[in-house]
Structure 1
Amino acid sequence: MASDFLPGFDRHRIETAPGVTIHARSAGSGPPVLLLHGHPQTLSTWLHVAPQLAERHSVVAMDLRGYGDSSKPPGGDRHTNYAKRAMAADAVAVMRALGHDRFAVVGHDRGGRVAHRLALDHPAAVERIALFDIAPTATMYARTDKDFATRYFWWFFFIQPHPLPETLIGADPEYFLRHHVEGQSKTPGSTPPDLFAEYLRCYADPACRHAICEDYRAAAGIDLEHDAADAEARVAAPLLALWGAKGVVGQTYDVLATWREKATTVSGRALDCGHTLQEERPDAVVSELMAFLG
C-alpha cells in the first residue's frame, strides 16, 4: 500500500478530459495555491512544503497526467496528450472543480513547464507563478551544448522513438530511478527511503514510464511549436524563479535573465542545494513562497 505523505489532506479524483482522471490532495483555507511536481516525483514531493503553506492558503497538490496515481492515457498523434497545453488544462479543471477560478501556481521541473504554459494559455486564472530549477524549455533546447547534453542526457534519451527508452529503463527501473534522484539532489538524505519507495512504486509501472517518455517527447516537439507561436507573449503574473546553486540549471544559465525574456515581472534567487528544492531546502522554499504569495 502506498504511504501517505500528506496526512490530513483530502483526496480527490477529478475527471479533466475524456479518459483522464487526475489524483489530487487538498487542505487549508485562504488564497488558493496549486503545487505541480516534476520528474520523477509525484505530489508527495511536497510533503514538507504543503502542510506549512496550508496554514495560510488553500493548498492543492496534484499528480500530473502520466505520473503518480493520475491517469496515463496513450500519447496520441504527435504526443499531444502530453503537451504542456493538455497538462495545463488538467490543472485548470482540477482547480475549478475544487472551487478556485484564480490561484497561484508553483511548479518544480516538469510541473514548472506546465505552470509556464498555464500562465500563457489561462492568464485570467493565474494570480502568481513560482518556478523551481528550470529555464524556459525552448531556451534550454536552443542553447544546448555538449556540457548540458551530457549532464541532462535524459532530455535526449527519453525522446527517442518508442519503445527504445521504455525497454532500456524497464530492464532495471530501480537502478535508473535511484541514479536519477541521487544525481539530481546535492543534499544526501533529502529523499528518504520511504519517499523513494513511493516514487519507485509509480516508476515500476510500465504505463508510467511510457507516459514520462511521452511527456519529454511532447516537450521536444509539439511544445516547442506552441512556444514558437507564443514567442512574443509574456507571462503577465508576477513570477518567482528559484533554483539550486549546485544544480545544472543554475550553473548553465542566467536563470533570471532567461525568465525576463518570457515574463514582465521576475524575481528570485539561488538556494544552497541541487535540483529538488522542496525536498532539499523545504524551509527556505516555504519562506520564499510565503513572502511571494502574501
Structure 2
Amino acid sequence: MSTPGGTSGDGAFPAGFDDLRLSRISVGEVSLRVRHGGSGPPLLLLHGYPETHLAWGLVAGELARTATVVAPDLRGYGDSSKPAAVPGHESYGKRAMAEDCIALMAGLGFDAFDVVGHDRGGRVAYRMALDHPEVVRRLTVLDVVPTGEVWARADARSALGYWHWAFLAQPSPIPERLIGRDPDFFFLDAEFGGAIRRFPPAAVADYVRCARDPATIAAMCEDYRAGATCDRRWDDEDRAAGRRITCPTQVLWAGRGALEAWYDTLAIWRDWADDVTGRAFDCGHFMVEERPLEALSAIQDFHVGSRSPTGPTASA
C-alpha cells in the first residue's frame, strides 16, 4: 500500500519528527504523501494553505509519543496527486478531501479517529465531522469559521484582509498565470506579511518547491474556487437542514488575526456544533509555527489527556 519516502533532512524539527515514516499511499483516485507513526489512539493532522504536512513538524514528533499521528498532504498540495478540475470544482471540494482522509485512515486500520485541522485543513476536518460523524471522535479546528459563514459575512474588511479568497477563486487561468510569474514572491512575501519566511527552513523549502509547480498553483486555485461554490453551498444546505457537528469540538484561533477582530468565534461555532470549547492564542494565523508549545499542549489536553485519567504527556 505504501512505499518509503525521505525525511525533512536538515534537523530543522524537534526529535521524533524524522522518525515518522514518509509514504505515498493510494486512496482511490488520488495518492497522498503521508507522514505517520507513533503509539496510541489515531490522530489525523490536516495542514492549511499554502503549506504541506511539514506544517506539523514542530509538534508531530511529540504528539507521536502518545498518539498514532497521520499527517498527509491534502489533495492538490505538496506531493499529493492533483486531480483534474471539474466545472463545479467538486474535485477540490472539502467533501472530496475529507473522503480521501477517511480512506487513508481506513487503509491504516482506523475506522474512527480524532482530527486536528488548520486553515483549509480545518475546513476539511469540520466537513468530515458533518458528513461522517461516525468516524470523527474529537475535532479541533485552528483559525477558521465555517466557509459559508465567511462568505455570508463578507464585507469591506474581508475584501481587503481575505483578498486572496476572491483572487484565487477567479476563473482559470487568471490567478494561475499571475502567480506563476513569481510564485516565491506571491507565497512568501505578498501573502501573510512574509510570516512564512520565518518558519523552519525544511518546511519553507518544501512549500517553495511545491508552489513552483504549475499543477500545485492550479490545484490551490481550485481549492479556493471550491470554497466559493460547492463548499459554501454544502455549508448552507447543512444549516438549512439543521445538521450539526456532534463530537466534542475545540476551536482555537489567532488573537492577532482576523477571527479575533471580526467574529465572535465561539458563538459562531456553537451554532454549528453541540459541544464547543476554545480560546485565542496570542499570535498570528500560523498558530502551530508561532506558538508550538501552546498548540502542542492544547492538542494533547483535548485529544490525549481526555482519554487518560493521568492526563497528557508533558511537552518538551
What is the TM-score normalised by the length of structure 1? Answer: 0.95
Of the candidates 179, 185, 188, which is equivalent to residue 169 of structure 1? 179
Is 1:60 aligned with 2:70? yes
Residue 180 of structure 1: CA displacement?
4.8
**Structure 1 residue aligned with 2:188:** 178
Note the 1:67-78 alignment, pairs <5 A: 67-78=77-88
Unaligned runs of 5+ in 2: 1-5, 306-316
Letter in 2 for 1:113: R
Counterparts of 1:208 and 1:103, CA distance in 2 = 28
Which residue is equivalent to 2:227? 219
Measure, in 1, the Cα distance between the counterparts of 2:300 and 2:200: 25
How far apart, CA to CA, are the structure 2 residues paired with 1:16 and 1:76? 19
**AA matched with 2:205:** A
Residue 3 of structure 1 corresponds to 8
For 2:49 and 2:247, how far apart are their aligned partners in 1?
25
Please tell me whether residue 17 in structure 1 is matched to residue 28 in structure 2: yes
The 1:149/1:182 distance shift into structure 2, 3 A limit, reads closer
The aligned residue for residue 295 of structure 2 is: 285
- Deviation at residue 195 of structure 1 after TM alignment: 2.3
- CA RMSD in angstroms, aligned pairs only: 1.5
Please state if 1:92 is matched with 2:97: no
8 Å contact 2:8–2:18 — kept in the other structure?
A: no
2:206 maps to 1:198 = yes
- Consecutive unaligned residues of structure 1, counting only runs of 5 or more, are none
- In structure 1, the residue matched to 2:124 is 114
More deviation in 158-167 or 223-232? Answer: 223-232
Find the residue that maps to 2:89 and give its secondary structure.
Answer: helix
Matched, 1:244 2:254: yes
Contact 2:35 2:72 in 1 (8 A): yes
Counterpart of 1:11, as a letter, is L
Cα deviation, 1:218-254, whole Å, max 9, x if unaligned, reads 1110112211221121100100010110111221111
Asked if structure 2 preserves the Cα contact closer than 8 Å seen for 1:65 and 1:72, the reply is: yes
In structure 2, how many angstroms separate the alpha carbons of the residues matched to 1:180 and 1:44? 21
Q: Is the 8 A contact 1:25 1:62 kept in 2?
A: yes
In structure 2, relative to structure 1, the CA distance for the partners of 1:105 and 1:143 (3 Å cut) is same
Q: Aligned pair in 2 of structure 1 residues 211, 123: CA closer, same or farther (>3 Å)?
A: same
Q: CA deviation at 1:179?
A: 1.9
Alignment of 1:20-59 (within 5 A): 20-59=30-69
Q: Is the 8 A contact 1:184 1:276 kept in 2?
A: no
Equivalent residues of 1:184, 1:247 under 8 A apart:
no
Shift of 1:12: 2.3
CA separation in 2, counterparts of 1:74 and 1:242? 33
Q: In 2, are the aligned partners of 1:68 and 1:202 still within 8 Å (CA)?
A: yes
* 8 A contact 1:244–1:273 mirrored in 2: yes
The residue identity in structure 2 corresponding to 1:211 is A
Match of 2:140, SS state, is strand
Q: Report sequence identity in percent.
A: 48
1:268 and 2:273 equivalent? no
3-state SS of the aligned residue for 2:243?
coil
Number of aligned residues: 291
Q: Give the match's secondary structure for 2:84.
A: coil
Residue type at the aligned position of 1:16: V
Question: Residues 7 and 22 of structure 2 are in contact (CA less than 8 Å); yes or no, is this contact kept in structure 1?
Answer: no
Measure the CA separation in 1 of the matches of 2:64 and 2:38. 4
* Aligned-partner Cα distance in 1 for 2:263–2:191: 21
DSSP-derived class of the 1:78 partner: coil
User: 1:184–1:275: 8 Å Cα contact kept in structure 2?
Assistant: no
